[in-house]
Amino acid sequence: MRAHGQVVVITGSSSGIGAAAARQLAERGATVCLLARRAGALDAAVSDIRARGGDAHAYPVDLTDDAATTDVARRLLADHGRVDTLVNNAGRSIRRPIRESLDRVHDHERVLAVNYLGAVRLTHALLPSMLDHGRGHVVFSSTMSTQLPVPLFSAYLASKSALESYARSLTAELGTSGITTTVVHFPMVRTEMSGATEIYSAMRMMDAERAGGWLVKAVVDRPTRVTSLSGAVAQAGMSVLPGVLIKVSAPLFRRMDRDLARRSQRS
Ligand SMILES: NC(=O)c1ccc[n+]([C@@H]2O[C@H](COP(=O)([O-])OP(=O)(O)OC[C@H]3O[C@@H](n4cnc5c(N)ncnc54)[C@H](OP(=O)(O)O)[C@@H]3O)[C@@H](O)[C@H]2O)c1
């Protein structure tokens, strides 16, 4: 599939990876529909894309709101006639030890509300139209940490694993009806989300522009998965020796956090 001529809906495109992907897809000739809560940031992103000659449209919406999500899906279809690709990229993250989360089940509820239920809600609202057209592609922004679990992100990783399982079910049930999916396993990316954790200021990360390119690959090439080589190797290892890999990697991650904390204090 070429990007040119596609109607692509990208959630979480008021900043970070989603905003970069929207710019790049518009440059390749896609009509891009940008969804997120911050109307001002969406308008700025849309103006930027239009100033470069692209076709972009802003749809402010809170994806945790059922009625608002149904309404935005209806408006997307009324305005553009169809959606070729939906990129479920909106997300939030919480970094907190399980020991400090024992009275905080709401951490899980809040993260699931956006990362998992928000994505399922919008997918379900657009699926009937995709099925009527006999085709549709659904992309899910996930993380390398579902391939090899990093400590302190239990609620976040659970929500992304749920998303990945849902993607597999979509492919298994509706693949013969023209519905395809891609799960994108991002490594750490320099955005507002990763910037919220102070020690990560000292970590080397992918930039949002390059990560946006991974979403472009998902939209254009439509592979089942976009991953780094190290993520793919870790995922293969986890399916064979999960206990050993977690036992070996967890202390390494803890040491990495201690090193990052020391370096971020120095700078
Ligand atoms: N950065 C990383 O290291 C990293 C690594 C792996 C995976 N990822 C994934 O990549 C995706 C993009 O994250 P990012 O790093 O680009 O962070 P970001 O800049 O913080 O982007 C998150 C986006 O989600 C939107 N959003 C949050 N809650 C929403 C809601 N209730 N309704 C609608 N939109 C909502 C935000 O917009 P508003 O605030 O305007 O609503 C924003 O546009 C996420 O799914 C994240 O889990 C990121």
> If pLDDT is split at 50, 70 and 90, which confidence band does 264 have?
confident
Q: Which two tokens stand for residue 255?
A: 């040491």
* 38 lies in some domain: yes
Pick from 1, 3, 2, 182: which is nearest to 88 by CA? 182
| 184-205 as b/e: b if 16+ CB within 10 A | bbbbbbbbebbeebebbeebeb
* 148 lies in some domain: yes
Residue 37, ligand 1, Cβ within 6 A: yes
- For residue 13, which atom of ligand 1 is closest to its CA? 43
- Using a pLDDT cut of 90, give the percent of the chain over it: 95
Q: How far apart are the first and last CA of the chain?
A: 45
The answer to whether residue 166 is catalytic is no
> If pLDDT is split at 50, 70 and 90, which confidence band does 210 have?
very high
The pTM assigned to this predicted structure is 0.97
Residue 266 has a pLDDT of 78
Mutating to test ligand 1, I would choose from 17, 64, 209, 228 the residue with most ligand atoms within 8 A of its C-beta, which is: 17
- For residue 160, which atom of ligand 1 is closest to its CA? 47
Distance between CA atoms of residues 34 and 10, nearest Å: 5
* 207 lies in some domain: yes
Q: pLDDT tens-digit profile of 25-47?
A: 999 999 999 999 999 999 999 99
Residue 265 has a pLDDT of 82
Residue 212, ligand 1, Cβ within 6 A: no
Q: pLDDT tens-digit profile of 84-125?
A: 999 999 999 999 999 999 999 999 999 999 999 999 999 999
**CATH number (domain holding residue 252):** 3.40.50.720
Residue 147, ligand 1, Cβ within 6 A: no
* 1 lies in some domain: no
Residue 179 has a pLDDT of 98
* 2 lies in some domain: no
Q: pLDDT tens-digit profile of 167-184?
A: 999 999 999 999 999 999
Indicate the range of 140-144, 163-167, 202-206 predicted with least confidence.
Answer: 202-206
Q: Give yes or no for a contact between 234 and 147, defined as CB atoms under 8 angstroms apart.
A: yes
Count up the domains in the chain and report the number.
1
Residue 231, ligand 1, Cβ within 6 A: no
Please name the helix (run of DSSP H) or strand (run of DSSP E) that holds residue 236, with its range, or none: helix 229-240
Q: pLDDT tens-digit profile of 215-251?
A: 999 999 999 999 999 999 999 999 999 999 999 999 9
On the question of pLDDT at 207 being above 90, the answer is: yes
Catalytic one among 59, 116, 156, 166?
Answer: 156
Distance between CA atoms of residues 66 and 63, nearest Å: 7
Could you list the residue range(s) of the whole structural domain that residue 173 is in? 7-266
Q: Could you write out the DSSP letters of every residue in 32-51?
A: EEEEES-HHHHHHHHHHHHH
Distance between CA atoms of residues 29 and 152, nearest Å: 40
Distance between CA atoms of residues 64 and 58, nearest Å: 18
On the question of pLDDT at 267 being above 80, the answer is: no
* 62 lies in some domain: yes
Distance between CA atoms of residues 237 and 230, nearest Å: 10
* 57 lies in some domain: yes
